[in-house]
Each structure stands twice: as structure tokens, then as C-alpha cells.
A = this chain, B = another copy of it.
Amino acid sequence: MKTVKIGLLGLGNIGTGTYKTLEMNRDEIESSLGVKLEIVKILERDTERDRGITVPMEKFTSDPDSIFTDPDIDIVIELLGGIEPATSFMLKAMENGKHVVTANKAAIAANYQALMDTAAANGVLLRFEASVGGGIPILTSLTGPLKANKFEEVMGILNGTTNYILTMMTQEGLDYETALRDAQAQGFAEADPTADVEGIDAANKLSILMALMFDKYVAPGDIPTIGITKVTKDEIEKARQDNCRIKLIAHAKKLDNGDVEYAVKPMYIDENHPLAGINREFNAVFVKGNAVDELMFYGKGAGPLPTGSAVMGDVMDIVRTALK
């Protein structure tokens, strides 16, 4: 069997989850593809950390160019996070003829057109299923089996941290600060929760969804964005009296005149709407298409293994499409 060689940028939580996903399902993945997969180089300075996996020391490198210029490497997986140097690394990998898989919503949303153009110009594939909704296969569904639709609307609960906090405020009657501390204690919020609670993470994901659904790129910074830091217990209770739940919704809708309106903000969701029942750290994406009508996708929007599932799904797609 042919071996497809992979360079991995970053062995943090998501990198480790991707590595584990490949190791634990390697037999099924390789027999399904009819090729072997090997992660041959890993860009990572921390070679000592106990990750619960065994990585041969010789795979580690601190030189990114040694990955981009390695003629044996077919696919680069970018899991560094952040806009830079991740974007530059992805561009360089593609310019060197490597296919790229990433989970990086910030980089994709910030540099969508440059990344897509570079992939096209170099005849390589760029896949980023994990960047929106973690393990939920929403992007592949929109661009594949749902592509015969004109899309009309998307409403997403795309950030697990804020959904966990709003769930605790609703179900346990906590105020915002207490719910945030609870989320931090449970590992659902970072020490600096700004990107989550201010809606920045959700805006990145909405930017990507709009580009794919409406062929309309809007920079995340140009999406009107309100986070959840000002949501009060009183507002949660008022919503409940109106038979609604407050959810942080990434929303975009095609108007009759062809324009798209879009925003990230806390919204009242009727308790009978499928999004109303999405609680704790779960994500969900509700979409409407002119043929398929209403659909909702629900699952884990973060975490090492769910994200690893989506990353490895993209790797398999690239092998099937371009490397067999």
C-alpha cells in the first residue's frame, strides 16, 4: 500500500486529539482508504509534556520550513491556532504543493480569500471542517449533499463556553460572574475568556458559514457582535416568562432583495424551536435551504477527539479526492 505522509503543525490539545484519533482508528481508516497514513514530522517545541501518546523523538522539529520543503510530505495539518504565524504557514505549505487541513477559524475567517486563492493557484486542496462546530460535519454538508439548495438562513450556537454559561444561568439561576467561574472550573472557559464571551469566536465561525452558504465574505470585525457579558438573571427570567430561552446566536439571513443581514448577539429563542433545547457545552447549527427546508446539526463543538474526528475526516477526503 502507498503511504501518504503528513506534517503536523502543533501538538497541543487539538494536535494530540488528532494524533489519538488516527492511532485509535488507524486500521479502519487505512483499510477504507487503501493507503497508509504516517505523521512524519511535528512542529512543536514542547517535546517533554505527557500527552498520553507515544511520539518518537525524531518526529519533532522546531523548523517549519523543514516541513514545507520536504518533498515527501503530501498533507500539512495546521493546528497552531491564532491568525499568525498559522496563515503564513498555510500559504507557504500550499505554495510548496502541499494540501492543507486546519481547525483554525481565526485564520480562515481573517484571510479567507487569500487562502482559497492560494489553494486554487497551486492546485491543492484546503479543508477546514473542524473550524466551525468542531466534530459536527456542517461545512461538508453545506458544500456537498446540500449544495443543490439556495440557502436562506443560518442560526448557530457555535460557542460552547457561552452556551454553557447561559445554560447555568437558566437552569441553576446563577448570575453571569458565577456561571463564568463555574465554566472555568469545569474546563469550558479559558482563564481569559474574552474571545468567547464577547462573541469574537462565534463571529469568526459566522464569517466562514456566510462565505460558504451565500458566497459572501464578511470580515469577522465587520460583523455586528454583542457577547453575553451584559446578560442578566432578570433578562433570563423575563425570557422564560415569554416561553423563550436566551442563546448567543450567530445569525445570517438572505433578504428578498438579495442582501444578507448578519449579526452575533444574544437572542430570544422560542422554547419550541429546536435550538432552544441545545444546552451546556454543545453546539448546534440550524439552516434553511429553499429545497431541503429546515435542518439542524447538533454535537460537540470543541474538544480534542471531536475536533480530531473532523480533521481526520478532512485528511481522508483529501486522500480520496487527490492522492489515490
Contacts and interface: CB of A to CB of B under 8 A. Distances in A.
Nearest to A286: B298
A102 to B, nearest CB: 15
Interface in A19-45: 21-22, 24-25, 28-29, 32
Contacts of A291: 17, 21, 24-25, 135, 305-306, 308-309, 312
Interface stretch (A46-54, A142-150, A154-162): A142-150
A145 B25 contact: no
Interface string A284-308: 0000011111111111100101101
A82 interface: no
Contacts of A306: 291-293
Interface string A311-324: 01111110000000
Contacts of A147: 29, 32, 313, 316
A137 interface: yes
Interface residues of A, number: 47
Contact of A316 (B129, B148, B295): B148
B293 A150 contact: no
A149 B312 CA distance: 9
Contact of A317 (B145, B149, B300, B313): B145
A141 interface: yes
A220 to B, nearest CB: 24
Interface in A93-150: 129, 135-137, 140-141, 144-150
A277 interface: yes
Nearest to A129: B145
B21 A313 contact: no
A39 to B, nearest CB: 14
B292 A300 contact: yes
A310 B295 CA distance: 12
B297 A297 contact: yes
A315 B148 CA distance: 9
A25 B148 contact: yes
Nearest to A271: B277
B305 A299 contact: no
A294 B135 CA distance: 9
A312 B146 CA distance: 9
A193 interface: no
A29 B289 CA distance: 13
Contact of A140 (B32, B145, B308): B145
24 contacts: A17-B291, A24-B150, A25-B148, A28-B150, A29-B147, A129-B145, A136-B295, A137-B141, A137-B145, A140-B141, A141-B145, A145-B313, A147-B313, A148-B309, A148-B313, A148-B315, A149-B309, A277-B277, A292-B299, A292-B300, A292-B310, A293-B299, A293-B303, A294-B299
Given A24-B291, A135-B292, A144-B317, 8 more contacts: A21-B291, A25-B290, A140-B144, A145-B317, A289-B309, A291-B312, A292-B299, A295-B298
